[in-house]
Structure formats: structure tokens, C-alpha cells
Structure 1
């Protein structure tokens, strides 16, 4: 254009725009037709793409954002084209319709051209690689949870513990365990939802595993959450590699819900959580074993609801009907029968919702007490889910042992030894092992397996008892009831129901085990036909309740005639005076328990009971030793402790060939040591409990020491030294003015030793080298003792295993340790965990500062009633970090105590402190600055409290919380 002349350039400059403007008017009709055609093609494309989108949405996909915007734009432009078309079709005139309005047509033509370009552009953009895609899953998928507000206390306490574990560095794998229906899944769903809106994890993955472990499905669930596509022909190893590659770069929380079997994380492709990757895995399971096998760093048990929480939840499910003055007393008992198990509370609550008749509630209470699944939903929603744990027990032997626990009353603290002993005999453990000890060990192993499945729990009175949750007991009774359709042994269980009369004889037929323990049946004047009966429990209350006149006193002479298979008979703590001769027809009887039958004066000759393996006559009223015991060649355990036999045929007892356990404690006449020397001929004996009158004859026999060392448990009591044993190898020695030669052979095998009123004892140094295995030592009322250990007289490892030291009423004790500091290599104090010093009036201090360094394992220190004690630790220079593990400190009745130590130091692990009647104490101990609350009690006069010196205000504040005043 530069080659053209200036005039021509000017003409073209103005002509092109003018011609374009004229074209808007001249080509209007053609442009409108073109717009209609292009718009129609655009509409067709929109319909096709919309159909593709609809198909994708129908299979769960979502349309691509670009497609969504395009469809909106097409819809908008179609409306705009329609508007233009309508405007075109409407005539536009001027001068009252005399001529066409060309200016208006010109403007319309210009808009048509512009819209045509928009349609063409939009049509060109309507080409997509994909119109829809799988929805992007949220980082945390919200889960529906029914955690009721009334569970706040128990649930939130457990949730807070889990939450803290998920936020610390120490716990990579957290195991949440508890019985079925207790709310583990509900809690974890609530935990899952707490992570919504947080950035603690890149992704939270929930996998429900359930009973049948399928590692491939676990991989599929995790892969789906991570949007990993697995081909149908990929094997587990290939999937594993894909998962590991993606998960190793992600901070994940993996929740494995309802895990029944452990599996290898490596096999699935899950990187193990550690401090570096800061990932976490939580598992919910019914089995402690699974937590252990999955290497859980922290195990948290989900507990049942408190009575108040259970009642509130029950009310929430039942509605206002439970507030009725007529219904409420019965409703509270119904709620109690659910025993704090949320699953049962919800099920029963739903079934009773709106029920306003007292009779209906009383019927429900009867059904629950009788372990009957009459209440709607009880069998399907409670018993069957709980039964899964029972079904998953490894074999019929373990299942049978679990069912055995139903024979004890509801809420009963079951003695483990008693339980295991019956299992060992009735379940035939003895036939499959070498001796009673191995059978007992097998019983304890089975007990742990049942506890592992949360079907039994630790008793309230410590490790020697177990308890069965009421709902699990109901489940077991349901399984074993004669009316149940489930195959297996049938039981008749009426334990602790207050029966005055025995069940009707027809109820006895066909059952294998019967428990009538803890009732008020005075007389058994029946002859029940029990061809299959194996176990019969007629015993009364535990040892905490004295035998009374309401207990069983009379058994009919023919009572045992029709029980040919009976193996276990327990009549302990009854008021029976004699046993009928029909007892001798129990030719298969293996266990006969007559313990604490104080009124029992005679029993028939027992020689015909050839299968008898356990005979317990302890604390019975028998005066004469039963005849025929010499014929019991299979007898493995004999207990005659605390009896008043006028004469005991020791030689006959020692001659029983199968005897493995003998208990002859606290007899009216102590066993003479010389008489007992023949016991070395008892080759199978493994457990011995015996009271002897003196030690001389007891240890004089040449073979004694070798025989004694072969015992796996013993309790030897010399003279009057009655004290419960601390261990399974315990010796109590009382009233010995002089210890005989050979005592070392007795004490060197002991784990615990009790020395009582032994005037000849001046220190424990005389036992040096013979107490290396000792773990527990109690010295009481030994007036000659001036020190316990003299470092100058003992070896470096004299008390190397000692864990607890108890010193009671040692009136002349001046020092626990004498002879200066322990030698540098001495290990005597390094395992001390508990020290208790009571009523040692001459003690002015407990330790020297040089000894503190070796007490680095000490956890409990108790000092009371030591009237002259000035300070606990003597000396000025304490080692750094003294008492690093001391958790509990008790100071009682120390009127002269001025300080713990003259040098101030901090107890870094102190959790609990008790101070009472220490009026001269100037300062309370320092503790770690990380402690926010300390347990215990501080008692003293207000004047003393106000005089106390404080290190800082925080210490004063924490101690103020536990100060009780005078």
C-alpha cells in the first residue's frame, strides 16, 4: 500500500470502513441465515456433549469444569441469537411507517456479524479430550457417626487420648481394642471427622477390613482413595509397588477398622510410620493380640459406659416413657442389665421405646436376667455380633473354657487358680502334658487367649482374678442353654439367683454342667437322673462371707446315684456335716473340693474313687484323716491346710506315686522336720506348701537340697510366721534365735523371704551369697537387727535381684546400709523398686548421698512412724538426676523430719505424694516443671502449712490443690 499515491491511500482509508458499514445493512439477510445455520450446528454439538456428560454422571463421574463453562456459554449465546432473530423478524419503520428505518437495520446487522463470530468461536472451542472425570475425593471423607451426646465423659476421654497419640511423634501405630459393640468404630469415625478442615495429614484413608482378611481388597480401597488405577491383570506385588511409590511421598493417616488378623504392611505396600514421615496408622480390633502383632506403639482399650452415661443413653433411646414414676424403677434395672455396652443399650432402648406398660418392662427385665433373646433385636443385633468373637476362638478347647466361666455368678471375681485347675482336669489338659504344672501353664495360656479376644477382663482385685462382662455371660448362657439351637454342651446355670429349692429334676436331664453355687438351698432331697453330667457346682459364697445356716446342709443318701460321668464336684463353703455313701459311685470323679466345710465331720472311705486327681480338704472340720487315700494312685494335688486332724499319716502321703502338689500349711500340729525328711522320695512333687516346727530336721537329709532345688514353687513356714507369700518361692521364718547350719540351702532358692521375731538376726550379711535370687524381703520385729546390709561383709552382687524391701518395727535399726558407700562395682541396689520403712524408731536417716546413685530404679518410697528421723538422705552432695524414676513418695508420722535432703533437688518423675504428721518439715519436694497436676494428700496444721517455704508460686499452687488441712 505504500506504493500507492497519497490520494489513493486517503480514499482507501475512508472507503474500507464505509464499505464495511454498508455491508452490515446490505448483507443483513444473508448474515442472519448464516447465524441461524451456525447456531443450529452449535446446538447439535451441545446436545451431543450434554448426552455424553449425562452418561458419565450416571456412573458417578462429574463433568469437567471447562465443559461445564462451555455449556453455560452455549446456552447464553443461544438465548442471545433468539433475541436477534426476533428483532430481525420485527419490521422497523420511520415517518409513521412510511419508510424503512435503515439506521436501525444497520445497527442490527452490525450486532448479527459480531454474534456470528462469537458462535463460530464457541463452536471451535467445543472440542474436548474428555467431558467428565471421576470425582476428586476430599482429603478427609466425612463419615456418618452416631456418637451420642450422652457419652461425652467416657467417649471424649478416650477420643482425647487417641487424638494426643495421633499428634505426637512417639506413636506411629495405635491399637484401639475392646469387646464387640463397645463403640470402637463410632469413636474412630468421630476422630476421622475431626480432621476435616485441618492440614495435619495430606490424606485420611479409611478401610473397613472385617473378619475375612483380604489384602487385595485393602490395596483396592487405598488405591481408590489415592486415585491409583490398577489393571485387572496386575498382581499384589505390582499393586504393592504402586501404592508404596505414592504413599512414601504423602503424610497419611490410615484407619484400619475391625481388624481380626494381623498382616504385613510391607506386603500391601504401606510405608511404616516413623518420626521422619510423620504418618500414622490406627487399627480397631477385638483382640489385644492383633495390636501386638501389628507392632502397635500404643494400645488403648475402649471401656464400657459409666452407670450414669448408660442411663442417659438408655433414656435417649427410650424416650420420655422412662420418666414415669411407675416405669422408671424397672427401666433402671433394665438399663443396668445392659452393663454399659452401647450396642446392647441402643438395641434394648429401641425395643422399649414408647412402651408404657409396667408389665412389658418387667417381662423385658426377666428376659435379660435369664439371658433370653426375647427382646426384639437382641439376638440379631447383640448376641450374634458378640458371638463372632466366640466363633473366632482358635479351637473347641478354648471355646469350651470360655463357656465354663458362665458357671460363676454374675459380676463374680473368678479366681484364676481355681478356674485353671478345673480346666486342666475337666478339659483333659493333663492327658496331653507331662504333669499338673504343665497342664496349669496350658490353662493360663488359654486364659490369655480368651482375654486377648476381650471375652474376659482383669478382675477388680488384681491379677489373680478375672471377670466376665454380663452381656458376654448372657451370650455364653444363650449358647449353652438347653433350648438353644446351637450345637454343643448344654448347661444349667442358676448361680447366685437366691434359689431356696433346687431346680426340678427334669431340668437336670441331658445337661453336661450344672452350677447352683451361691444360692440358699439347704437340702438336696432329690435323686436327679444326669447321665451326661460332668461338672456340678454346689459351693456357696466366697471366703469374704462366713458360712451361715442358709447354706447347703443336707444331701440325700441317693443323690449321686445317677451321675455316672461326674468328674468335678465342688461343695466348698457349705454347711454339710457328712457326705452320703452314694458319693462312692462316682467312679469317674477327678476333682473333689470340700474346702471350708467347717461342719463336715466325716466322709466315707475314698479308696473307690480311683480316678481322683485333686482333693481339697483345707479348712474343713474333719478330725480324722479320710480312709482309703493310699489307694488314690492318680492323685496329683492334695490340700489339707488349716485342718485339725489328730493324726496325719505322712508316710502314706509321701508314698502316693502321682502326687505333684501338696499343701500342709497351718496344721494343728506342725510337721516335724525329721518326719518330713521322707518327702525326698516323692519324685513327681513340684509344689510344696508346708509349716514346720523347726528347721534342723527339715534340712538335715542328705538328699534334701537337691530335691528341694527341683521344686518349681514352694511356701515354707517355720514356726509362727504367718504372712501371705510374695512369690511362688517363698520362705517365712519366725521365732528363730539361731539359724541352723544348712539354712543357705533353703534360702538360696527363694524369691521372697519373710523374717519375723528372729532375735538371733543382726543383719542380712550372714546370708551373703545365698540371696542372689531374692526379689522381695520383709524383716519384721527382729529386735537384734541394727543394720540390713553391711558393705564390708557382702559380695558385690549379694542382693542383685532384690526389688522390694520392707522393714517393719525394727526397734534397734540404726542404719539400713552400713560400712560406708557400696563398692564401685556393687550391683546390690540397682534393681530396688520399692522401699517401705515402718516403725523403725532409731533411724535418723534412710540413705547416704553416696548410695542414692545406685537407686536409679526406685519407684516407691514409703516411710512412716519413725520417730527420730531427721532427714531422708544424709549428706550434702547428691548425684545429678537423683531418683529419676521415683513416682510415689509417702511420709507419715515423722515428728522430727526437717527435710528430704539438705541439698535441694528435683524429682523428675514424681506423680503422687502423701505427707501427714510431719510438723518440722520445712519444704515439700521439688518436681518437674512439666507436671500440671499431682496426686496425693498433704495433711497438717494450718500454722505448719503457712510456714512452709516455697521454691516458686507454681509449686505452691499445685500443692494447695491437695492440701487437706488438719
Structure 2
């Protein structure tokens, strides 16, 4: 049963001090997950993910994570058993759906190690000797205590007191939630600070008219109850919540790019207002902010860039609700948001030029976390490869309303958001060769060509971890583009001169573009550019080049500070560049600048250590 508290209980185990002290070699968190719109992760998928986590924690110098390529499950068991030999570890495996994905885990753990698995499918725990703890629904007293805390006590020291005139209504609303923790939490949060009896009666009526939770159609009933909280949101908050649902299940969602994207909306003034609105979703328990990295054996460090580098997550039941709202009985091409899952790709028509019209304002195709081997997305001459189907959608359809497009790898971008910005003297994670694991270069180039049309209404273009070397000159057609996100595009070597013609551009994200060596001076023409990020491992700042690719006398930093509307600048510089930056006079020259973040990267024995310099 979803929403009953399995993951919440497992997190308590994960964070317990005595448990961490007992398991001297570490407590590790691994999410398996199961997106209903893609294939279930295989045993080898989970093995590769776990090996990467262990490799990072144990700091093995004898092998690299990418060297772990077991021939079959038995081979993988042997290698993981060797890695865990003699290790006193606790492996917490969250959200397992099928026994085949994880049955091998019992064969790799040492005698001093333990495994904790959360699942909705009891068959996963059917192996002899496995203890099973079944979570049930809350009794009336516990349900009311949880509900009252979220509705009345979460932000005020009033105990569990409820206004007497609301007491009967509170009891009735709790009753409609049927003891399910997620429903109690979300509905309770939505009623926080509301003391009007008529409003409570209205919500109670909505819950009573929904399908009761104690019927056989439990999932549909739960969706109906949770949707009552969604429909009470303002249109702006509804859109923000649905935008987050385009991110693949069980992936942490990087907050920074979404704040930048939302700030380009006419109804949101800037990133600060966007962050305040995101906080409202958190207060309503529709999202969880800044979830720690449970894959670490030690507590994750705080992010050095407050307010910009956190992450959030959406409970998979709430995400299912959002996707259900997005579909809402509409055909794929008629939806306002087109979230293209691998399963739904097969339902798309065989487009021919100009014979289809897509009504969506948001189109998303992001690869999920567990798909670490994404070779099936590459161009191999197969007509039905996933990325080619996406290409045909953009090349063969009219998209007159599209404002936001997301294409790329969610797992890689999330890694850049979390690991590229570290505290002083913190060793970086192993660099991933994205040229081996990125979206097919020829196909993504054709998709970009199809998007860059003179009639384009595109406002946001987000391409995390895509494998192109340069943007097309035709990008100048996107006159309304306000956000261009290219995080993790490790093959990107240069930007076209035509980039300077994007007269509406407000945010440019080049985080993780480690091969970027040249930028055109035309960037100085971007008079509305407010935010620039360039943070890439082991990379010097790019050189400013003229149209004939000869070096310019203008330094990249000087070019940034000459932007008249620049408010936020995030840069990484190698130590040898630090003395030449002369930041203080430049920062004083840029009157619009609000935030300046500099990560100083120092090369020590072929490893990058980074410290933080900041001026606000």
C-alpha cells in the first residue's frame, strides 16, 4: 500500500545514531523504484547502482565504477560479495516491486551485515529466514494526533488543542482519511491555519463525495482524496506542482533550474518569489525539500550556495496523482503537458511531416535514475529507438503552444547539482564519461534543429546531459527563449555567435560543461541576462573568441560583469586563474549584481579539491 509510511520508517532507521555506530562500515540507502511507465529495473541495474554507491564510500583506487560490468547475475553476486567481504554495513533498499530485482542481495551481504527492504509486494520478502514487519493503517487516536499536528501544531506551540467549534469537523475529516498517513499529512497540511467552519465543511464534503478509501478501488479512492488538496491550490501553484511531476520517479529533483524556469513566467516576478511559492507546496506536504543523500555513509554536507542548490522530491503516490491530472482523459496530443515515458512512446502515432498537431505547453522526455546503461537510446539504425521517436515528434508535428521542453538524463543532472558544489577540502565524485552515456548526438542535433523555428513560442529549453558539441546557429530563432539550461553537457565545446541574438534570455546554465572552451563576445549583447552558472570539474574558464575564432582581449569574467542586468553569477575557477580575476572592482562595477559565488578548484595529485569564495 502506498503512503502508509514504509520509507518514513526506513529513514528513521537510516538516521538513528546508535544504528550508525553499530554498522561501522556504513549505512547505505539505495532506491530501486518502479515507474509504471517504464520497464522494472533489472537485477543488474540495481547491482550497478549499488556498486557505484559502495565504490564511492570505500574510496577504492583499484577499479572505477564504470569497470563494473558483470556478465550475468551470478557474476555480479561474486563481485559484490567480494566488495562487501568482512564489511559491517546496513543496506537499506527502498521501494522494491519485484523479487527478481533484489533476491540476490541475500547472497552478497557478509555475516556482520544486514539488509532492510521496503516493498508493497510481500512476495519480495518470501525468502526463508527473512523477517517481515507489516505496517497497518493508523488507529483513530494515532490518526487524529498526526492530522492535528499538521493542521494545527506544526508551526505553533499550541499543543494538540483544536478550537472547540472545529472539533467535530476535525474528527469527521480524519475519519474520511481512513488512517492512511499520507492522506492525513496532505489534507492536514492543506487545512493548516484555516479556522473558518464553512471552509472545513467544504473540504469534508469534497472528501465524502470522493470514492471511500475502504473500498476495493483503493488507488482510485486515494487519488480522489489527495486531489482535493491539489484543487485548492492557486493556478500558479498547480502548474508548479505539475511541472515537478515531469521528473522521473525516485529521482531527487534539482531546485535551482526550476526556480530559474518559473521566474520566466509572467505570473512570477523572480526566483525569490518562485522559491516562496515552492515553500507553499512544501508546507502543504505536496513535496519534500532538501532530502539528504542517503547513499552516503556519513551525513551529507550542507550546500554552500543557500537557496539555490537544494533538491526536492515528490512522493510516488502524489506523482501518480499529478500524472493522472495531466492525462485527465485527453489523448496524448491534446494534453497541455506531454510527459513522454518509454511506455507511452509506443502509443505515439507514426508522424509524417505536418500531419499532426501537439497542443502541449510542456513537453518532457527525461531518462530516469535506474537507467544507467542507456545505450538503447542511442542511434543504432533502429526505427523504433526511443530518442528517434522523440525526434519524429518534434520534426513531424506542429507545436504552436510549446513553452517548455525538457530532454536529457535526470540522474546525471541531479548528480551535477549535488556533487559539483562541495565544501572546502571535500574530494569530488568520480567524473562520469558522458560521451559514453549521453543522448545520441546526431539525433539530439536534429531535435534542436526542429525546435529552432522562427514561429517558436519556446520560453524554456532544458537539455541536461545531452551529447552535442555545439548549439545550432538557428537557435537565434528562439526570440522568446528566457531560460537555456545545458547542465552536464560534457561534450559541448563552443557556443555559436548567434546566441547573442536571444534578446529575451534571462538565465544561462552551463554547469558541468567541462569541455566548453570558447564563448562568443556576442554574449555581451544579452541585455536581459540575469543569471549565469559555469561550474565544471577540472575546467578553466572558457576563452572569449571572435567570429573567426581568434582570442579576444575580453576576459570571460569581464564579459559577465558588463551585462547590465546580471544579478547572479556562479563560477568555478582553477587556482591558477584566481589571482587574475580581480573580483572586487568588477563586482562593484556591476550595480545589478546581488549574488556572486566562486568555487576555487585546486589540483592536488590529479584530484580536484575545491573551496568556496563568496561575495554577496
Deviation for aligned residue 1:607: 1.4
Deviation for aligned residue 1:686: 1.1
Measure, in 2, the Cα distance between the counterparts of 1:491 and 1:284: 27
TM-score by length of 1: 0.34
Deviation for aligned residue 1:529: 1.8
Q: 1:654 aligns with which of 549, 558, 561?
A: 561
Residue 418 (str. 1) matches residue 326 (str. 2)? no
Structure 1 match to 2:532: 638
Measure, in 2, the Cα distance between the counterparts of 1:655 and 1:493: 39
| Contact map agreement 2:564 2:590 (CA 8 A) in 1 | yes
Deviation for aligned residue 1:428: 4.1
Structure 2 match to 1:162: 142
Q: 1:444 aligns with which of 258, 271, 275?
A: 275
Structure 2 match to 1:226: none
CA RMSD in angstroms comes to 4.6
Write the deviation string for residues 468-506 of structure 1: whole angstroms up to 9, x where unpaired.
2223222222322384399x9711102566969997556
Structure 1 match to 2:173: 257
Residue 389 (str. 1) matches residue 277 (str. 2)? no
Q: 1:287 aligns with which of 172, 188, 201?
A: 188
Q: 2:404 aligns with which of 507, 523, 535?
A: 535
SS of residue paired to 2:508:
strand
Measure, in 2, the Cα distance between the counterparts of 1:412 and 1:345: 28
TM-score by length of 2: 0.52
SS of residue paired to 2:596:
strand
Structure 2 match to 1:399: 238
Question: Which structure 2 residues correspond to residues 370-385 of structure 1 after superposition, within 5 A?
Answer: 381-385=221-225
Residue 678 (str. 1) matches residue 594 (str. 2)? no
Question: Which structure 2 residues correspond to residues 721-760 of structure 1 after superposition, within 5 A?
Answer: 731=613
Residue 689 (str. 1) matches residue 597 (str. 2)? yes
Q: Which entry has the higher C-alpha Rg, 1 or 2?
A: 1
Structure 2 match to 1:511: 360
Residue 552 (str. 1) matches residue 440 (str. 2)? yes
* Closer, same or farther: CA 255–385 of 1 in aligned 2, 3 Å: closer
Structure 1 match to 2:479: 587
Structure 1 match to 2:292: 461
| Contact map agreement 1:482 1:490 (CA 8 A) in 2 | no
Write the deviation string for residues 370-389 of structure 1: whole angstroms up to 9, x where unpaired.
xxxxxxx865x343332211
Tell me: higher relative CO, structure 1 or 2? Use CA pairs within 8 A at least 6 residues apart. 2
| Contact map agreement 1:578 1:603 (CA 8 A) in 2 | yes
Deviation for aligned residue 1:610: 0.3
Measure, in 2, the Cα distance between the counterparts of 1:440 and 1:498: 33
Measure, in 1, the Cα distance between the counterparts of 2:433 and 2:342: 16
Measure, in 2, the Cα distance between the counterparts of 1:154 and 1:674: 58
Unaligned runs of 5+ in 1: 1-149, 179-204, 210-214, 223-253, 261-282, 295-342, 352-376, 431-438, 693-716, 733-745, 750-966
* Closer, same or farther: CA 159–448 of 1 in aligned 2, 3 Å: farther
| Contact map agreement 1:259 1:285 (CA 8 A) in 2 | no
| Contact map agreement 1:536 1:569 (CA 8 A) in 2 | yes
| Contact map agreement 2:469 2:494 (CA 8 A) in 1 | yes
Question: Which structure 2 residues correspond to residues 889-908 of structure 1 after superposition, within 5 A?
Answer: none
Deviation for aligned residue 1:445: 2.1
Measure, in 2, the Cα distance between the counterparts of 1:674 and 1:573: 29
Residue 614 (str. 1) matches residue 483 (str. 2)? no
Deviation for aligned residue 1:162: 3.4
Measure, in 1, the Cα distance between the counterparts of 2:593 and 2:263: 17
Measure, in 2, the Cα distance between the counterparts of 1:498 and 1:627: 43
Structure 2 match to 1:408: 247
* Closer, same or farther: CA 654–718 of 1 in aligned 2, 3 Å: farther
Measure, in 2, the Cα distance between the counterparts of 1:572 and 1:667: 24
| Contact map agreement 1:522 1:553 (CA 8 A) in 2 | no
Structure 2 match to 1:198: none
SS of residue paired to 2:558:
helix
Deviation for aligned residue 1:422: 1.9
Measure, in 1, the Cα distance between the counterparts of 2:356 and 2:329: 11
Residue 569 (str. 1) matches residue 549 (str. 2)? no
* Closer, same or farther: CA 441–539 of 1 in aligned 2, 3 Å: same
Measure, in 2, the Cα distance between the counterparts of 1:537 and 1:391: 25
| Contact map agreement 1:537 1:571 (CA 8 A) in 2 | yes
Deviation for aligned residue 1:655: 1.0
SS of residue paired to 1:422:
helix
SS of residue paired to 2:440:
coil
Measure, in 2, the Cα distance between the counterparts of 1:625 and 1:640: 12
Measure, in 1, the Cα distance between the counterparts of 2:265 and 2:458: 10
Measure, in 2, the Cα distance between the counterparts of 1:610 and 1:259: 55
Question: Which structure 2 residues correspond to residues 834-873 of structure 1 after superposition, within 5 A?
Answer: none
Deviation for aligned residue 1:722: 6.4
Measure, in 1, the Cα distance between the counterparts of 2:588 and 2:141: 56
SS of residue paired to 2:519:
coil
Measure, in 2, the Cα distance between the counterparts of 1:259 and 1:429: 38
Deviation for aligned residue 1:405: 1.1
Q: 1:625 aligns with which of 511, 519, 524?
A: 519
Unaligned runs of 5+ in 2: 1-122, 124-131, 153-160, 177-183, 196-210, 294-301, 303-309, 368-373, 378-385, 416-431, 545-554
Q: What is the count of residue pairs matched by the alignment?
A: 377
| Contact map agreement 2:484 2:508 (CA 8 A) in 1 | yes
Measure, in 2, the Cα distance between the counterparts of 1:616 and 1:386: 35
* Closer, same or farther: CA 483–540 of 1 in aligned 2, 3 Å: same
Write the deviation string for residues 145-195 of structure 1: whole angstroms up to 9, x where unpaired.
xxxxx9984347x659939x98xxxx9x942679xxxxxxxxxxxxxxxxx
* Closer, same or farther: CA 508–666 of 1 in aligned 2, 3 Å: farther
Deviation for aligned residue 1:552: 3.2
Deviation for aligned residue 1:572: 2.0
Q: 1:604 aligns with which of 476, 492, 496?
A: 496
Deviation for aligned residue 1:397: 0.9
Deviation for aligned residue 1:289: 6.2
* Closer, same or farther: CA 558–405 of 1 in aligned 2, 3 Å: closer
